[in-house]
Amino acid sequence: AQSVTQPDIHITVSEGASLELRCNYSYGATPYLFWYVQSPGQGLQLLLKYFSGDTLVQGIKGFEAEFKRSQSSFNLRKPSVHWSDAAEYFCAVGTGFQKLVFGTGTRLLVSP
């Protein structure tokens, strides 16, 4: 069965420091992969997605993610974190019939 693992429940990063959020997936075929962000009290907003082609994908708000098939990973990165990036981040894999399977999320805290 398809699954997504986000091993970090919480991460705290200093403002201006770099960020990497981990995501590992389990899926039999070539996956569609997504990162969504949820600000407090809000719905989910798509940050970026990978379907095929270049394994380094760029998203909104300065985020990027790299697909590594050999490691079944799709880690999210940002070179310099801003206080407004504090939110919960969800990795997801697309399955058949346009469904998504989500990870349990990583809550990012940004310290001054």
User: Interface residues with other proteins (CB under 8 A)?
Assistant: 6, 9, 32, 34, 36, 41-46, 49, 51, 90, 94-95, 97-100, 102-105
Q: How near is the Cβ of 44 to other proteins at its closest, in Å?
A: 4
Q: How near is the Cβ of 23 to other proteins at its closest, in Å?
A: 12
CB of 15 or CB of 44, closer to other proteins: 44
CB of 52 or CB of 112, closer to other proteins: 52
CB of 28 or CB of 41, closer to other proteins: 41
**Burial status of residue 43 (CB atoms within 10 A of its CB: 0-12, 13-18, 19 or more):** exposed
Structure tokens at 99: 């469904």
- Cα distances (Å, whole numbers) of residue 102 to 15, 16, 66, 76, 99: 27, 28, 18, 15, 10
Residue 91's nearest CA partner among 8, 1, 14 is 8
Q: How near is the Cβ of 94 to other proteins at its closest, in Å?
A: 3
Judge whether 91 and 35 are in contact, CB under 8 Å.
yes
CB of 22 or CB of 49, closer to other proteins: 49
Q: How near is the Cβ of 80 to other proteins at its closest, in Å?
A: 27
Residue 24's nearest CA partner among 88, 100, 99, 76 is 76
